[in-house]
Structure formats: C-alpha cells, structure tokens
Amino acid sequence: MTAMIMHGSSMGWPVPGREGFWRNGLAAGGAVALHAAVIVMLAAGWTVEKPAVEAPRVLRTQLVILPPAPAPQAPAPVAAVTPQPVEAPAPRVEAPRPKPVETTPDPQLQAKKLEQAAVARKRVEERKREQQADEQRQRQESERRRREAEQQAVEQQAAEQQRQAQQAEALAQQRRAEQARLAAESRSYLPLSKEAPDYPQRALDKGLEGDCTVEYSVTPDGRIENPKVLDGCHPLFIRPSLAAAQTFRYQPRIVDGRAVTVPAVRNTFHYRIK
C-alpha cells in the first residue's frame, strides 16, 4: 500500500510554485496519517487477506454435422396382380407312432411287491380282527353291566317287598295280639252301661269334630276311678268326655275267685256332626 501511495499518479516530487507547494504538503500529511493508521492496525493484529481466486469457468462446445436429407422419390407404379389358382391342401400324413417297448418284469421285484402287498393285507385283517374283538368286548361289558343293573333292581325290589311284607306281618301280629288282649279282657270284665257324651255347643257352632281318649281304672265293684284325658284331645271335648266316662259301669274282673282292679283301661269318644 505504501508503494501505491508513493508511486501514484497524484504524488510526485514538489514542483516549484505556490500552488504546487500546498498541494504537496497536503499529500504528505495524508500519507503520514495513512501510514500511522496502518501501523496501528498492524499492531492490533490486522492482516491483509488475499482474495480467493475463483476458478475460471470453461465453456465446452461440440460440433455435430447432420447428413443431408434425401430427396423425395416419386411413387412407383402399381403393377396389375394376376390372381393365382388356389391349390387344395395336401392331405396330412401322420407319422407312425413308435411301438411301446415291452419290458420283462423282474421276478424278484415282482415277488417282493407281492410279499409287501400280502403283509399289508395281513396287517389290515389283523386290525379288523382286533377292532371286532374290541367291539365284542365292549358289547359284552355293556351287556354284563345291564344285567347287573337289572339284577340289582330286582333284588332291591324283592328286598323292598320283603320289608313291606315283614312290616305288614308285624302289624297284623300286633293287631291280633291286641284283639286277643281285648278279647281276654272282655271275658274278664264287660261294660254293663256306657252313656254317650254331650256334644259341646261351642264345638257345634264352630263346626269342630275330633276324637278324645280317656284312660281310667276299673275298680272291683265295676266303677271307674282316676280318669284322665290323653294327648290329642281338643279342649272343648275334655269335660264332656270325662263326665261320660264317670257313668261307665263294668263287670269286675275275677282272679282266683276275687274281684281285682283293672288298670289302664282306655275308651275313645268320637265327636262327629251328622
């Protein structure tokens, strides 16, 4: 930059004259100021960077030469076409087919195949027999279970019938024993008179019916003592039942020629509205 300032077109040695003196003085002062500014900038670390050089651009062209266009040609004259006779197509002759080549089977291979077929057939038959045997066993098992169930049902029915028969026989025996006891007692002592109880009016108004059993003892003179009503008697039927039992008279029981007391004699009164 100093070289440019020193050798510029406006700088040069002082030319005699007043106007030239002032001009040279101004130029010298500017040069001094410019040098001072450059020194300060250099001291501050300023450096002059070179401008990046741009690569020159190259334009490439290629010359292409086209062939000359052909001249137009006149259309060729159309010649008359004479029709040609159509020939019938020749019959198609099929080529003879090649005869199959007869091959002689290998006896060993054929025997092996027959053996394999026989083994497979035997296995199928064995499976069928096993399946049939399984089905037969299942049918037999189901039949056995059915027979057992029927037998068990028959046994249970027979046991139930036997139990019912035993119960009926026991009940019949009990009834026969009771009848025998009553018959024996009736032979020992007989009721001479029995009066029916009066039907309570309240029971008639309410439409009540029922039974009432009274237990007492027959004394040697044929009267009753200690009458009491057993459970199951309606309260409205208690008083008339006890009153009617007091009127009963019996023929006394004779044991060894002597009249004895008969305890636990029962009589049931039936109250029915007719």
What pLDDT does 75 receive? Answer: 56
What pLDDT does 39 receive? Answer: 82
What pLDDT does 3 receive? Answer: 39
What pLDDT does 108 receive? Answer: 83
What pLDDT does 132 receive? Answer: 92
CB atoms under 10 Å from CB of 223, counted, come to 15
* Domain residue spans of the chain: 2-43, 193-271
Within 8 A by CB and 6+ apart from 209, the residues are 203, 271, 272, 273
Instruction: Walk along the chain (274 residues) and give the pLDDT tens digit of each residue.
Output: 333 434 444 444 444 455 556 667 777 788 888 888 878 777 776 555 555 556 666 666 666 666 666 665 655 555 555 555 556 565 665 666 666 556 676 788 888 888 889 999 999 999 999 999 999 999 999 999 999 999 999 999 999 999 999 999 999 999 888 877 666 555 566 788 888 899 999 999 999 999 999 999 999 988 989 999 988 899 999 999 999 999 999 888 888 778 888 898 999 999 998 7
CATH superfamily, domain 193-271, is TonB (3.30.2420.10)
What pLDDT does 151 receive? Answer: 92
